[in-house]
Chains A and B, each alone.
Chain A
Amino acid sequence: MNQLNVAVIIKLEPDFSEGNVSYNPDGTLNRADTKNTLGPHSAIAANAAFYAKVKYDAKVSVATMGPPIAETALQMAQKLSDAEELHLYSDRIFAGADTLATAETLKTGIQKMQGKMDIVFSGHRASDGETGQTGPQTAWKLGYPFFGNVLNYEVNVQNKTIRIKRLVSLQGFNDVIEEVEAPLPVFLSVDPSYKSLFNTVSQRISYEKYQKQAKIRSENYKQYLMVFNLQQLGVDPTLVGLPGSPTIVFRVERIPKGKANRQAEVLDSSNPEHIRKAIAKINEALSAMVIK
Chain B
Amino acid sequence: MEKYDVAIIGGGSAGLAALKQLSNHKKQAVLLEAGNKIGSKNISGGILYSKKLKNGHVHNVEDVYGDIFLREAPVERKIKKYILHATSKDKIYSMDLTAAHEYESNFGYSVLMTKLNSWFAEQAAESAQKFGGGIIPGVHVSSLEWNKKTNTTIVTTDELEEFEVRAIIAADGVNSEIAQISSIPKFTPQQLYQGVKVVVKLPEDIINERFEVESNEGAAHLFAGDVTINHIGGGFLYTNSSTLSVGAVYHFDSLLENPTEPYTLVDSMLRNPMISEFIKDQVPSRRKIDKSLPQEEQLRIRFAITKLLKTWNELRDASLSKGGREELLKSGKYNSEKAINERLSSIQEQLTEKYGVGFVTDYVEVEYGAKLIPDGKRCRMVKPYHKNILFVGDAAGRGIFIGPRIEGLNVGIDDAVRAADAVTRALDRNNFTSNYFGEYYSQSVANSPYTRDMKRIDKDYLKIFLDAAKDIPKDIISAKYGTIIKLMSSDTFRSVAVKLANILGYERLLPIVESEDTFVKVPIEVAKRLGEKVTATYVPSIPSIDDRVAKLKFDDDNTSHIKVLKPQSEFMKKMVTLCPTKCYSLENEQVVLQHEGCIECGTCSHETDWKHPRGEKGIVYEYG
Contacts and interface: CB of A to CB of B under 8 A. Distances in A.
Contacts of B4: 201
- Which of A20, A21, A208 has the most C-beta atoms of chain B within 10 angstroms of its own C-beta? A208
Contacts of B108: none
B303 A21 contact: yes
Interface in B100-144: 125-126, 129, 132-136, 139
Interface in B288-327: 296-297, 299-300, 303-304, 306-307, 310
A19 B307 CA distance: 4
A202 interface: yes
Contacts of A202: 2
Nearest to A26: B296
A201 B303 contact: no
Contact size range, B: 20 to 34
B30 A201 contact: yes
Contacts of B306: 18-19
Given A18-B306, A22-B303, A201-B4, A208 B134 contact: yes
Nearest to A24: B300
Nearest to B295: A257
B160 interface: yes
B163 interface: yes
B225 to A, nearest CB: 35
A101 to B, nearest CB: 32
Interface in A177-221: 199-202, 204-205, 208-209, 212
Contact of A205 (B126, B129, B159, B300): B129
A25 interface: yes
A208 B161 contact: no
Nearest to A27: B296
Interface string A1-35: 00000000000000000111111010100000000
Nearest to A254: B296
B160 A205 contact: no
Contact of A209 (B2, B129, B139): B129
Contacts of B126: 212
B303 A205 contact: no
Contact of B2 (A18, A19, A201, A208): A201
- Which of B139, B161, B587 has the most C-beta atoms of chain A within 10 angstroms of its own C-beta? B161
A13 to B, nearest CB: 17
A204 B30 CA distance: 10
Interface string B1-41: 01010000000000000000000000000100000000000
A272 B300 CA distance: 38
Given A23-B299, A208-B125, A201 B135 contact: no
B133 A205 contact: yes
A201 B160 contact: yes
Interface residues of A, number: 18
Contacts of B296: 23, 27
A33 to B, nearest CB: 8
A50 to B, nearest CB: 16
B303 to A, nearest CB: 6
A54 to B, nearest CB: 13
A84 to B, nearest CB: 19
Contacts of B163: 200-201
Nearest to A208: B134
Contact of A204 (B160, B300, B303): B160
B158 to A, nearest CB: 11
A22 B303 CA distance: 7
B393 to A, nearest CB: 23
Contacts of A204: 134, 136, 139, 160
Nearest to B302: A18
Contact of B160 (A20, A22, A199, A212): A199
A272 B585 CA distance: 12
A264 to B, nearest CB: 17
Contacts of B132: 205
Nearest to B297: A25
A208 B136 CA distance: 7
Contacts of A25: 297, 300
A18 B125 CA distance: 35
Nearest to A207: B136
Nearest to A257: B295
B300 A18 contact: no
A36 B85 CA distance: 50
Contacts of B310: 19
Nearest to A270: B585
A96 B107 CA distance: 61
A200 B307 contact: no
Contacts of B299: 23
A192 B587 CA distance: 41
Interface string B138-172: 01000000000000000000011101000000000
A22 B2 contact: no
A27 B300 CA distance: 7
Contacts of A201: 2, 4, 30, 136, 160-161, 163
Interface string A38-57: 00000000000000000000
A37 to B, nearest CB: 15
Contact of B303 (A18, A199, A200): A18
Nearest to B165: A201
B135 A208 contact: yes
B2 A23 contact: no
A18 B307 CA distance: 8
Nearest to A198: B160
B108 to A, nearest CB: 31
Given A25-B300, A208-B125, A212-B125, A200 B134 contact: no
A199 B136 CA distance: 11
Contact of A22 (B30, B129, B307): B307
Nearest to A272: B587
Given A200-B161, A201-B4, A201-B163, A22 B304 contact: yes
B556 to A, nearest CB: 17
A143 B377 CA distance: 72
A199 B125 contact: no
Given A22-B307, A205-B136, 10 more contacts: A22-B304, A23-B300, A27-B300, A199-B161, A200-B163, A201-B30, A201-B136, A202-B2, A204-B136, A208-B136
The 6 lowest CB-CB distance pairs between A and B, nearest first, are: A205-B134, A204-B136, A19-B310, A27-B296, A19-B306, A23-B300
15 contacts: A18-B306, A19-B303, A19-B306, A21-B303, A22-B304, A23-B300, A25-B300, A199-B160, A200-B161, A201-B2, A201-B136, A201-B161, A205-B132, A209-B129, A209-B134
Interface of A: 18-23, 25, 27, 199-202, 204-205, 208-209, 212, 272
